[in-house]
Amino acid sequence: MTLPFLSLMIFLPLSGVFFLGLVRPKDERNAKSVALWISSINFALGLILWAQFNRFNSGYQLVEKHEWCNGINIFYYLGIDGISLYFVMLTTLLTPLCIIFSWHTIQKRVREYMMVFLLLETLLLGSFCALDLVLFYIFFEGTLIPLFLIIGVWGGEGRTHACFKFFLYTLLGSIFMLLAVAKLYSEFGTTEIPSLVDQKFSPLLESWIWVAFFIAMAVKIPMWPFHTWLPYAHVEAPTAGSVMLAGVLLKLGGYGFARIVIPMLPDASTYFAPFVMTLSVIAIFYTSLVALAQTDMKKLIAYSSIAHMGFVTLGLFSLTPEGTTGAILSMLSHGLISSALFFMVGMLYDRFHALEIKAYGGLHKAFPKLAALFLIFTFSSIAVPGTGSFVAEFLILYGTFQINTVFTTLALSGVVLGAAYSLWLYHRLFNGKLVTPLNDSTDMTSSDNISFGHKSIETKTHQRTNLDLTFSERFILCYLLVVVLAMGIYPRFFTKHINKSVRQSVLLHHRISRPNIALY
C-alpha cells in the first residue's frame, strides 16, 4: 500500500476528537453517533489491514519512516508484524463495542466521554505500531491521560483515590523506561527498535537497561507485587473503562516484553528468566487465592486478570517458540474474555446497582440468556477445550515444560484455583434461590435505541418480566463469543500470522544457546 495506512488508523480517532471539540454538537446523540461511526470505520480499516497482511513475511510491513526531530536521529517510525497485528485488531474491535455499551449508561458529559475514548484508541494503536522507542514512550505514557479521566470523571464514589493510585504507579514505572531510552540514545545514537535489537551490549549495561524496562512493563501488566493499583481502578471505573483497561491496556506490558525487552536484551532476559517465572507462578497462586476471598464482582475479575497475565509472562520468559506464541494468544483471548465478563457485570450493575456478590442469587430465572453466556465465558476463562484460552495455556505449559517441569507443575496446579473462583462466582450469581427482588425499580431504561445515521434499532421496553438482555447487549456478547470460539476451534487461523514473527522478532536474536537456557 502506498497509502500511509497505519497513520490513517492511528489518527482517524484523533480527528474525531478534534471534530467533537470544535463542532460541539448540541444533541448528545450526535456525539455518540460520531464516535460510533469513526470507531466502526477504524475497525473496518483493521479488517482491510488484516486481509492485506502477508503472513509469509516475518519482518515489519506497512513501514512508515519520516524524520521527526531534525539532526537528532529520532524518527516517526511505524510498522507492524504478526505480533502487533492482532493487538491492533483487538483495540479496534473493543472500542466500538464500548461506545455501544455506553450509549445509555453514560448520562453526564457525554461528548467529553466520547472524545476521551477516541483519544485512548489513538494512543493504544500508536503504542502497538511504533518502532522507535521515543515514539513508543509517548504513546505508551499518553494512555495514562484518558484512563485517568475515564476513572476520575465517570468512575464510582472512590474514583479519586483509584485514579491517582493508577496514575502514580504507572507514571513511576514509566520514568524508569524513559531513563533507559535516554541511556540507549547516548550509547548508540539511535532509538529505533530494529537497530537496537542488532546492537551488542556490555553485560552491565544490558542488565541495568533490562531492569528499567522490566519495572515499566511489570507495573503495566501488572505483575505481582506491582499489582495493587489494578483492583481499585477496576472497581471505580465505568464498565467500558474496565473493558479497555483489562482488554487492551494490560496487554501493553506483555507486548513491551515481546517487542522490546526480550529481542533487544536477550542475555539479560535469559539471566533473569527464572526470577520472572518465579514471580509469575507466585502471581498465579496468590491472586487466585485472593480472588476466592472477594465479595465484589469487579475485584474478583480484576484479580483473575492478574493471574492470567502470570501465565503470559511465564510463557514469554520460557523463551521457546511455543511458550511465546501461547503467551501472545493468551493475551488476545484474555482481552476478549475479560471484556465479556466486565460487560456482563456492568449489565447486572445497570439493573440492580450493586457489585457485592451477596446481593445476587438465582438470576438464571430472570436472565436465562445472560446466564448461558456468562457460563460459556466462564468456561472460556478456565481454559475449557474448544476455547482460545485452552490453546493458549496448552502452548504456554508445553513451552515451559521444555525448560523447567517445576514451574510447569505449579502453573498447572494454579489452573484448578482459576476454575474454583470462576465457577464459585457463577454459582453465587445465578444458581440457588432468587435473592434480589425483581420489581419495577430494576427497569434500566424505557428503550434500547442506537442510531446508525438515519436508521435506528429499537428493542422492547424493559418490563418486570423482560429483564434479560437487550439487542445491543446480545450483539456485544455474541460478537465476542464468536471470536473466542473461533480461536479455540481453529487456532491456526490466528497462529499462522504470529508464528513467523515470533521466531524472527523474539527468538532469533537470542545469542544464548538453548542448552544454556535449559540449565535453570
Domain boundaries, the chain: 265-438+465-520
479, pLDDT greater than 60: yes
Cβ atoms < 10 Å from Cβ of 159: 20
Q: What is the mean pLDDT of residues 483-507?
A: 81
Partner residues linked to 65 by β-bridges? 77
Please report the sign of the dihedral spanned by the C-alpha atoms of residue 77, residue 78, residue 83, residue 84: positive
377 residue type, one letter: F
How do residues 435-473 score in pLDDT, each as one tens digit? 665 554 444 443 444 333 333 333 333 333 346 788 888
Cα(170)–Cα(165) distance, rounded to whole angstroms? 9
Distance CA 482, CA 493 (A): 13
Task: Look at residues 434, 431, 417 and name the one whose alpha carbon lies nearest to residue 293.
Answer: 417
Across the range 422-447, mean pLDDT stands at: 66
Of the candidates 281, 298, 319, the one whose C-alpha atom is nearest the C-alpha of residue 415 is 281
Q: How far is CA 179 from CA 94, 137, 139, 153, 210, in A?
A: 32, 11, 16, 31, 12
* C-alpha–C-alpha distance, residues 178 and 214, integer Å: 12
Q: Which residue has the cell 529520532?
A: 74
pLDDT above 90: residue 41:
yes
Angle at CA of residue 395, ends 394 and 399, nearest 5°: 120
If one counts every other C-beta atom within 10 angstroms of the C-beta of residue 386, the result is 14
* pLDDT tens column, 346-367: 888 888 888 888 888 888 878 8
Q: Is pLDDT above 80 for 52?
A: yes
13-47 burial, b at 16+ Cβ within 10 Å, e below that, comes to: bbebbebbeeeebeebebbbbbbbbbbbbbbebbe
Average pLDDT over residues 488-497: 83
Quick one: pLDDT band at residue 402, thresholds 50, 70, 90?
confident
pLDDT of residue 465: 39
Higher pLDDT, 108 or 437: 108
The residues, any chain, with a CB within 8 Å of residue 91's CB and separated by 6 or more, are 121, 124, 125, 128, 248
CA 399 to chain centre: 23
Q: What is the pLDDT of residues 58-102, one digit of tens each?
A: 778 888 888 777 667 788 889 998 888 889 999 999 999 999 988
Q: Lowest mean pLDDT: which of 128-142, 173-187, 220-234, 475-489? A: 220-234
Q: Mean pLDDT, to the nearest integer, of 17-38?
A: 83
The pLDDT, as a whole number, for residue 2 is 65
Residue 320 has pLDDT above 50, yes or no: yes
Name the average pLDDT for the chain.
83
